[in-house]
Amino acid sequence: MSVTVLVGSQWGDEGKGKIVDILSENYDIVTRYQGGANAGHTVAIGDKQFILHLIPSGILREGVVCVIGNGVVIDPTALLEEIELLRKNNIEVDGRLFISHNAHLIMPYHKLLDSISESGENKIGTTGRGIGPCYIDKYARKGIKIVDLLNRKVLQEKIRENLKEKNNLLKKVYGHEELDVEEIIKQYVEFDKAIDKYIKDVPSFLNNAISEGKSILLEGAQGALLDVDHGTYPYVTSSSPTAGGACIGTGIPPTKIDSVVGIVKAYTTRVGNGPFPTELTNEEGEKLRTIGAEYGATTGRPRRCGWFDAFLVNYSAMINGIDSVAVTKLDVLGSFDELKVCVGYELNGKPVKSFPTDVERLSEVKPVYEILPGWNSDISKCSSYSELPSNTKDYLNFIAGKSGIKIKIISVGPKRQQTFFAE
């Protein structure tokens, strides 16, 4: 039995949702550990497509228990909508979904402040889901937590206290109209009634489960390069998507983590602003976007697309301690004559030794490419490694070697059956 962390290895949208769904067949519990409804994890089952923002992608596997850890920031509206959507599809969450009493709540002013700060200069290109402002309040020790819902008096006091400050800020600094305190209190009391049954002491629940020999898959959101500490700051999210974040965001200690699986897209994408050395702003980038359907699962924004960056994935493998990798969207590369792979960077004509996360240097680096032949065929119907064209195998071996990763799973389409083990 094992405890596995699953992380995005690039800038998010690597196909985590699909691979969590595949792997969760063999796990008892799937737990989200950070982020919020900024995430959009897609799972395609038959003709249906589910986009999960807060509930772990394991919910689509019968019998799998799903947990939202303390590291996640919860938007009540998004959560209730998601529960409703699942119910409409005959997927019952009661008795299978648990939420940490220590998770923080996204409040209406978080979303408002997110959109106000994005309307000014120096935009990050956030998803507008209130993520940054909510984590700001968490670390400023002003946040409102799930546990606060359980005590109406405390809840009211905390909302009133926060609103005093936020309304001041909204009115005096931003010239925005004030928010209605009573309305917000009413809304969160209603939310409490709907979610009381899911609230749990998650660290005890998960650690007891481990003692009983149960297996746990920890589902990261976003990706390593969006990590607030290890990513391309300030063009990052406000949480810790890297593997270390899984311990903080759940209460499972590092000594109980057995392995880390990295999800690696066969090329690179990024949504929002910030440096992206292998970005293609030409027809090839457009081709990747069209064939790969690279539009945000949460916001619908077109994703920026570029060649595979082995230098970046090598850095990601190091900070996450990745043991094995699932390579996704390999099918998308099926109509290119040549494929470029970035094997390093140069800065002012000199090779860069280690991955620069500061935007000043990362914006200036020149990728060093090696060119590989494409395979010019549709591999989306392949169902085993041996069926792949030899050029595809060579591409996989090359990116694995240059990134220092071990590929275990290969994905050639959005569906469950378009997945197989690497040799």
Tokens of 407: 């590929």
Q: How far is the CB of 169 from ligand GDP (least distance, A)?
A: 32
What are the percentages of helix, strand and coil residues in the chain, rounded to 5? 40, 20, 40
14 binds ligand GDP (CB under 6 A): yes
Binder of residue 412, out of ligand IMO, ligand GDP, Mg ion, none (CB less than 5 to 8 A by kind)? ligand GDP
Q: How far is the CB of 13 from ligand GDP (least distance, A)?
A: 4
Give the CA diameter of the chain.
66
Strands 350-351 and 338-347: antiparallel
Give residues with Cβ within 8 angstroms of 105, minimum separation 6: 73, 74, 75, 76, 134, 143, 144, 145, 146, 148, 149, 188
Binder of residue 96, out of ligand GDP, Mg ion, ligand IMO, none (CB less than 5 to 8 A by kind)? none
Binding mask 392-411 for ligand GDP (x = CB under 6 A): -------------------x
The one-letter code for the residue type at 417 is Q
Residues 277-316 that bind ligand IMO (CB under 6 A): 297
**Residue 302 bridge partners (DSSP):** 295
Residues 40-69 that bind ligand GDP (CB under 6 A): 40-42, 44
Q: Is 41 a catalytic residue?
A: yes
Q: How far is the CB of 381 from ligand GDP (least distance, A)?
A: 12
Strands 308-309 and 338-347: parallel
Q: How far apart are CA 217 and CA 214, in angstroms?
A: 10
Q: Is 104 a catalytic residue?
A: no
Q: How far is the CB of 197 from ligand GDP (least distance, A)?
A: 27
- Kindly compute the dihedral angle of the four CA atoms of residues 38, 265, 317, 231, in this order, to the nearest 10 degrees: -40
Size of the site for ligand IMO (CB under 6 A): 23
Give residues with Cβ within 8 angstroms of 242, minimum separation 6: 7, 220, 224, 227, 229, 230, 319, 320
Tokens of 141: 């020790």
Give residues with Cβ within 8 angstroms of 400, minimum separation 6: 325, 406, 407
Residues 8-27 that bind Mg ion (CB under 5 A): 13
Among 78, 146, 412, 422, binds ligand GDP (CB under 6 A): 412
Of residues 44 and 199, the one with the C-beta less far from ligand GDP: 44
Of residues 170 and 326, the one with the C-beta less far from ligand GDP: 326
Of residues 222 and 419, the one with the C-beta less far from ligand IMO: 222
297 binds Mg ion (CB under 5 A): yes
Q: How far apart are CA 152 and CA 148, in angstroms?
A: 8
Q: How far is the CB of 19 from ligand GDP (least distance, A)?
A: 8
Binding mask 279-308 for ligand GDP (x = CB under 6 A): --------------x---x-----------
Q: How far is the CB of 10 from Mg ion (least distance, A)?
A: 11
Binding mask 6-45 for ligand IMO (x = CB under 6 A): --x---xx------------------------xxxx----
Q: Say which of 13, 75, 114, 309 is annotated catalytic.
A: 13
Chain center to CA of 53: 9
Binder of residue 328, out of ligand GDP, ligand IMO, Mg ion, none (CB less than 5 to 8 A by kind)? ligand GDP
Q: Is 274 left (phi over 0), alpha (psi -120 to 50) or beta?
A: left
Strands 324-328 and 338-347: unpaired
Give residues with Cβ within 8 angstroms of 23, minimum separation 6: 4, 6, 217, 261
Q: What is the DSSP letter of 374?
A: -
Catalytic residues: 13, 41
Applying CB under 5 A, the residues found at the interface with Mg ion are: 13, 40, 297
Applying CB under 6 A, the residues found at the interface with ligand IMO are: 8, 12-13, 38-41, 124-127, 129, 131-132, 221-223, 226, 237-238, 271-272, 297
Applying CB under 6 A, the residues found at the interface with ligand GDP are: 8, 12-18, 40-42, 44, 293, 297, 328-329, 331-332, 411-414
